[in-house]
Amino acid sequence: MVSGNHPFIALGSRLKGIPEVITLGLKPNFLDYSPRERDLIIEADIILYPTLNYAQFFTTMGKRIFPSVETYLYADEKIKQTTLFYMLELPHPRTRIYYPLHHGDILKDFTFPFIAKLPRASAQGKGVFRIDSEEDLEAYLGMTKVAYVQEYLPHRRDLRIVLINCEPILAYWRECAPGNFKSNLYQGGSINFEDIPEEPLLRAVETAEKCRFNDVGLDFIEYNGKWYLIEANMKYGRKGLEIKGMDLKQILREKLLSGDLFNPSS
């Protein structure tokens, strides 16, 4: 718990408006903060939503942060995520990375159709392509020097699981619109909260714990009876929460004040 004399300090705006939290905002230069603000930051044991710019610094200083530094380091980094998933032996579709000298190897390793993604900036289904021909591949390679190529596992829906401190708070199907292989809501997909299986929920907890992601949306698909982890989304959408009538800011506040926002070992 906190007292009025010892509020929590946040940099990012996610918790802005919560009375127990002073949100200072992101300033690119530490000395841009006022002397009082710098004192608050230096003296704080915990920094909330420190942003990528400061997460590593605070971790080096021994401060507790939320979200974790790993959550920040792998956000919007599909190449890093894939390497991490493989090293942790998490089930992930066959994926390879190709730099320009090796673009010619793509069609040696994959047959049409396959998925190609922009390694970064592919949120909301943007930057994700189904490659059905050499012309499609050429067009994709014209967008990026680093090719991120993944086997295509046919599916009509995926399962988004949102976890806070490794605890699932919401799970829902994202169902593809007719004629579209993407399930993202921004691509015409729809939400279904019915019949959520237990296995992917357990896998989501395992994934979050192994990867040390404590504020994340994980996407899974089932193919031939096996569940595959597709990717981790640190900037997960809020639509599912809104439809369910869930206030993420209030959920975070309750976990913060109860002490449940951090692992016991953190």
pLDDT along the chain (266 residues), means of 10: 67 95 97 98 96 95 96 92 98 98 98 94 76 98 97 95 97 84 65 96 98 97 97 90 95 95 61
Quote the pLDDT of residue 164.
Answer: 97
Quote the radius of gyration of the chain (alpha carbons, Å): 20
- Cβ 53 vs Cβ 39: under 8 Å: no
Q: What topology is assigned to 94-151 in CATH?
A: Dna Ligase; domain 1 (3.30.1490)
Topology match between the domains 94-151 and 157-258 = no
Strands laid side by side in the 157-164 sheet: 190-192, 167-175, 157-164, 215-223, 226-233
- Cβ 205 vs Cβ 253: under 8 Å: no
Quote the pLDDT of residue 125.
Answer: 61
Computed from CA positions of residues 120, 157, 242, 250, in that sequence, does the dihedral angle turn out positive or negative?
Answer: negative
Domain ranges of the chain: 8-66, 94-151, 157-258
Quote the pLDDT of residue 183.
Answer: 59
Quote the pLDDT of residue 124.
Answer: 59
Encoded amino acid at 10, one letter: A
Which CATH number fits the domain 157-258, given the four candidates 2.60.120.200, 3.30.470.20, 3.30.1540.20, 3.30.413.10? Answer: 3.30.470.20
- Please report the DSSP string for 1-28 in residue order: ---TTS-EEESSGGGTT-TTEEE----S
Q: What is the largest CA-CA distance in the chain?
A: 64
